[in-house]
Amino acid sequence: MKKIKSSCDVNDKENVSNEYVIVEEQKKKTKKRKKVEEKEFDTTETSECEKEVCLICKENIKIKAALPCECIFCHYCINKHLKRGRFCPGCYSNGITHLDIKVNKKKFRTVQKITKKTEGNLKKVLKEHKIDVSGSKSMLRWRYDQLVCYLETQAYKERPIVNEKVAYKITKKELSIYDRKKKTGEEKEVQQKIKELIQKARKNIKPDEMNK
């Protein structure tokens, strides 16, 4: 009987210890989850309230530029500031130059790449950038290709170009191409008319007069 009791006691102790381990593990998991949630909350707060506001112009950052001291500014603002003085205007760290600026270049490439250039997809992207969506599909494709090309060439400039300016540039280029085509078409028509007039004049001239 004593042996049976001792074995029961051992089993009970093992069960209690296992339950204790499980409870402790659950406590640790809940603590970790709370910490993660708190961190996530903190990062969203800082990104919305601090990181996205330029310390120089006090406006929302369009192109993020960071210094080694981890202060963040608009790319245009910090470039302009460093032309006057080699220090951080946020924490006043010295010895900072243009070479120390780290730019978030993902912000530049705002155009959506289309895998299937259907008429609907092209119109959707062009509308987002305030570009004219009238005309044939070939015209829409041309405008989209111009948009991609233009934004990528602007990608490493100090100040990004707004949609209205991009739309204006593309429309201006399109009109100049149209004008050139129109002029060449008109010139061809004039040349054709001149040829016709020459042919008519030749018909009216007698062969004897042609040799004179």
Reported as a single tens digit per residue, the pLDDT across 5-39 is 455 555 555 555 666 666 677 766 666 555 544 44
**Domain co-membership, 8 together with 95:** no
Is residue 44 in some structural domain? yes
What residues make up the domain containing 33?
Answer: 1-51
The whole-angstrom distance between residue 105's C-alpha and the CA centroid of its chain comes to 8
Vertex 63: Cα angle to 43 and 170 (nearest 5)? 140
**Domain co-membership, 147 together with 113:** yes
DSSP 8-state code for residue 40: H
In whole angstroms, what is the distance from residue 126 CA to residue 117 CA? 12
Is residue 177 in some structural domain? yes
Residue whose tokens read 């909350």: 41
**Domain co-membership, 112 together with 93:** no
In whole angstroms, what is the distance from residue 147 CA to residue 33 CA? 45
Q: Look at the pTM and tell me if it is higher than 0.75.
A: no
Residue 136's pLDDT is what? 87
In whole angstroms, what is the distance from residue 212 CA to residue 210 CA? 6
In whole angstroms, what is the distance from residue 21 CA to residue 11 CA? 15
Q: Which helix (DSSP H) or strand (DSSP E) does residue 28 occupy? A: helix 2-46
DSSP 8-state code for residue 66: E
Q: How much is the mean pLDDT over the chain?
A: 71
Structure tokens belonging to residue 180: 């050139």
**Domain co-membership, 168 together with 120:** yes
Bridge partners of residue 53, in order along the sequence? 60
Is residue 96 in some structural domain? yes
128-155: b (≥16 Cβ within 10 Å) or e:
ebebeeeeeeeebebbbebbbebbeebe
**Domain co-membership, 126 together with 191:** yes
DSSP 8-state code for residue 115: S
Convert the pLDDT of each residue in 96-121 to its tens digit.
888 888 876 554 455 666 777 888 88
**Domain co-membership, 25 together with 45:** yes
**Starting from the edge strand earliest in sequence, which strands make up the sheet with 72-74, in order?**
72-74, 64-66, 102-103
Hey, what long-range contacts does 41-50 have (CB within 8 A, 24 or more apart)?
none
Q: Which residues does the chain have with pLDDT short of 50?
A: 2-5, 36-50, 107-108, 156, 158, 210
